[in-house]
């Protein structure tokens, strides 16, 4: 099965030392071939040093973060940060936000500042995605699309799967169509390991570029998937063996 169509991306690189260690181990064990880095978190400097030391500096994208840690720009008056400049969790998801041109520009400047920080540290991102998938929020989609096109980057799409709310399915389908029409999509399909396994069971082959999202963390000496609390190495190895998968550099796909 073609491996040049498979991206396994670890989110949250730079969030803390635990996750940084897990992501390094994932690269060493060939569990992943891509990661996305958070520019505003405490583990950023350590993450950059580790990436250079272990030779995967060319396999790093930007994990845009507007919900956690300290902002890189002044977002006072937006309601997104506290008096010390730290993001207020989920404040940006408030459905009652009025997206004025001023607010829109402040958000865009913060995103661009996070992008520039990677460049300043010698990292040329392979692609863009976002912490907690905020880039798919209706009032932020156009901002992220603008940044993506202005920086000549690619952007993560959204998983389209069965849901109780039919409107979410329709929205996600139309959103992916919008990204693909703009030609800014990083992959053709996106989902977690379980979604990918279901896809392969139905299709028997990777027909398009598929991005798998994982969230590695250390639990003792074991690398686990945070949100599933399972051994990540065993999960990915099983997928590779069952479907005869290999992986290649995400930068080669972009």
Residue-wise pLDDT for 62-117, tens only, equals 999 999 999 999 999 999 999 999 999 999 998 888 889 999 999 999 999 999 99
Give the residue-averaged pLDDT of 37-61: 98
DSSP letter at 5? Answer: T
CA pair distance 63, 118, nearest whole angstrom: 11
Domain at 6-253, CATH from 3.30.365.10, 3.20.20.370, 3.30.450.20, 1.10.580.10: 3.20.20.370
Whether the predicted pLDDT of 49 surpasses 50:
yes
Say if CB 55 and CB 46 are below 8 A apart.
no
Tokens of 166: 């039919």
Q: In whole angstroms, give the CA distance from residue 30 to residue 245.
A: 12
**DSSP notation for 183-240:** T-BS-SEEE-HHHHHHHHHHHSS--S-EEEEE-EEEETTEEEETTTTEEHHHHHHHHH
User: Residue 246: what pLDDT?
Assistant: 64
Res 133: pLDDT: 97
Predicted model pTM:
0.94
The first and second tokens of residue 246, run together, are: 């290999």
Burial 93-121 (b: 16+ CB within 10 A, else e): eeeebeeeeebeebbbbbbbebbebbeeb
């Amino acid at each position: 099965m073609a491996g040049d169509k498979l991206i396994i991306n670890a989110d949250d690189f730079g969030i803390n030392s635990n996750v940084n260690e897990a992501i390094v181990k994932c690269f060493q064990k060939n569990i992943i071939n891509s990661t996305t880095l958070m520019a505003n978190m405490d583990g950023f400097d350590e993450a950059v040093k580790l990436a250079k030391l272990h030779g995967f500096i060319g396999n790093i994208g930007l994990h845009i973060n507007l919900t956690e840690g300290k902002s890189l720009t002044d977002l006072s008056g937006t309601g997104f940060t506290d008096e010390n400049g730290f993001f207020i969790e989920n404040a940006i998801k408030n459905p009652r936000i009025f997206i004025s041109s001023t607010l829109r520009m402040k958000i865009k400047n913060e995103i661009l500042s996070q992008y520039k920080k990677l460049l300043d540290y010698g990292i040329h991102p392979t692609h863009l995605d976002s912490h907690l998938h905020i880039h798919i929020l209706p009032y932020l989609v156009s901002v992220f699309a603008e940044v993506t096109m202005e920086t000549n980057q690619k952007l993560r799409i959204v998983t389209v799967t069965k849901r109780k709310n039919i409107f979410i399915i329709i929205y996600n389908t139309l959103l992916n169509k919008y990204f693909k029409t703009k030609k800014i999509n990083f992959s053709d399909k996106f989902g977690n390991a379980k979604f990918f396994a279901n896809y392969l069971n139905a299709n028997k082959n990777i027909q398009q570029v598929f991005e798998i999202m994982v969230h590695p963390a250390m639990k003792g000496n074991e690398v686990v998937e945070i949100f599933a609390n399972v051994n990540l190495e065993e999960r990915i190895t099983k997928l590779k063996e069952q479907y005869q998968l290999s992986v290649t550099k995400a930068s080669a796909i972009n």
